[in-house]
Amino acid sequence: MEAGINSPCKVCSEQWQLHRDKCYWPSEDIKTWDESKHDCSTRDSQLLVIQDKEELYFIKNMTKHSKYWIGLLKSEKKWIWIRGSQLDQSLVFPSTDTSPCKVCPVQWQLHRDKCYWTSDYMKTWDESKHDCSTRDSQLLVIQDKEELDFIKNITKESNYWIGLSLLKLEKKWIWITGSQLDQSLFPEPNYDERNSCAAIKNKATSERCSTVFRWICQKDPLLL
């Protein structure tokens, strides 16, 4: 939640954090959106309204370990802040797709009907899968040849984990969505008992799941 400051001497109440012209208080309790909105009002404040990219980066750093409600809700197919103003699309990357209504969060890349996020650091396959879930997303599931070509282009300099792993008993490669790998997309990676997670660079390869690589998360775009 946030509270504005009108005094030239900027101070915040105890347990509130000052940043520029606002005081911020992140809750430790978990509530619904309506309950959170009401709680803010009892503190003479309101749910967070993000005004610009600098504030967005500050909030992303504050909230990177958990999800927090903000003062944004959808009304008549438009995202509206609780103050009544419409979401400024400059806070997210505009769509390069033919549809003007698809947008991705900052640092995510839109391609067709997906938002993609590529990591700059390395984790194991399980850690990468978990990291994607904290971003309200999942490890990449490649659906067709066009998407495969797109992914090859953005992964040509390094190995990246994708959401494909081996069911050892059945010896089948399964996407994290539960569907089996379509070998018309690419051949099954070579494997042995130690290599049961898939990474991609110029092609999909079988790797030890404990190896650390970068990874790719995917999520649906925001429809405005």
**Domain segments of the chain as ranges:** 2-89, 109-223
Q: What is the pLDDT of residue 38?
A: 93
Q: What is the pTM of this model?
A: 0.56
> How far is 224 from 206, CA to CA, in rounded Å?
39
Residues in the chain: 224
Mean pLDDT of 173-182: 94
Q: What is the pLDDT of residue 162?
A: 98
Q: What is the pLDDT of residue 98?
A: 47
Q: How far is CA 185 from CA 13, 111, 131, 141, 146, in A?
A: 57, 18, 26, 12, 10
Superfamily holding 2-89: Mannose-Binding Protein A, subunit A (3.10.100.10)
Check pLDDT > 70 for residue 217. yes
Instruction: Please count the other Cβ atoms lying within 10 Å of the Cβ belonging to residue 114.
Output: 20
> How far is 85 from 77, CA to CA, in rounded Å?
14
Q: Which of these, 54, 43, 41, lies nearest to 82 by C-alpha position? A: 41
> How far is 25 from 91, CA to CA, in rounded Å?
22
Mean pLDDT of 116-143: 96
Q: What is the pLDDT of residue 170?
A: 80
Q: What is the pLDDT of residue 100?
A: 52
Coil vs helix vs strand at 173: strand
Burial class of 7 by CB neighbour count within 10 A (0 to 12, 13 to 18, 19+) = exposed
Hey, which CATH number is domain 109-223, 3.40.50.720, 3.40.50.1100, 3.40.50.300, 3.10.100.10?
3.10.100.10
Mean pLDDT of 2-22: 77
Q: What is the pLDDT of residue 224?
A: 64
Check pLDDT > 50 for residue 71. yes
Task: Rounding to the nearest 10 degrees, give the CA dihedral for residues 11, 90, 102, 93.
Answer: -90
192-219 as b/e, with b when 16 or more CB fall inside 10 Å? eeebbbbbbeeebebbebeeebbbbbbb
Structure tokens at 118: 């590529």
Q: What is the pLDDT of residue 149?
A: 93
Coil vs helix vs strand at 69: coil
Kindly indicate the confidence band of residue 2, based on its pLDDT and cuts at 50, 70 and 90. low
Same fold, 2-89 and 109-223: yes
Q: Which residue has the higher pLDDT, 154 or 61?
A: 154
Q: How far is CA 151 from CA 87, 145, 146, 147, 212, in A?
A: 30, 10, 9, 6, 19
Check pLDDT > 60 for residue 213. yes
Q: How far is CA 89 from CA 51, 85, 98, 206, in A?
A: 11, 12, 16, 40
Kindly indicate the confidence band of residue 16, based on its pLDDT and cuts at 50, 70 and 90. very high
Q: In one letter, which amino acid is 134?
A: T
Q: Which residue has the higher pLDDT, 131 or 192?
A: 131
Q: What is the pLDDT of residue 3?
A: 63
Mean pLDDT of the chain, nearest integer: 87
Q: What is the pLDDT of residue 67?
A: 85
Check pLDDT > 60 for residue 24. yes
Q: What is the pLDDT of residue 192?
A: 66
Is the distance from CB of 16 to CB of 3 less than 8 angstroms?
Answer: yes
Q: How far is CA 101 from CA 42, 78, 94, 98, 224, in A?
A: 36, 10, 9, 9, 5
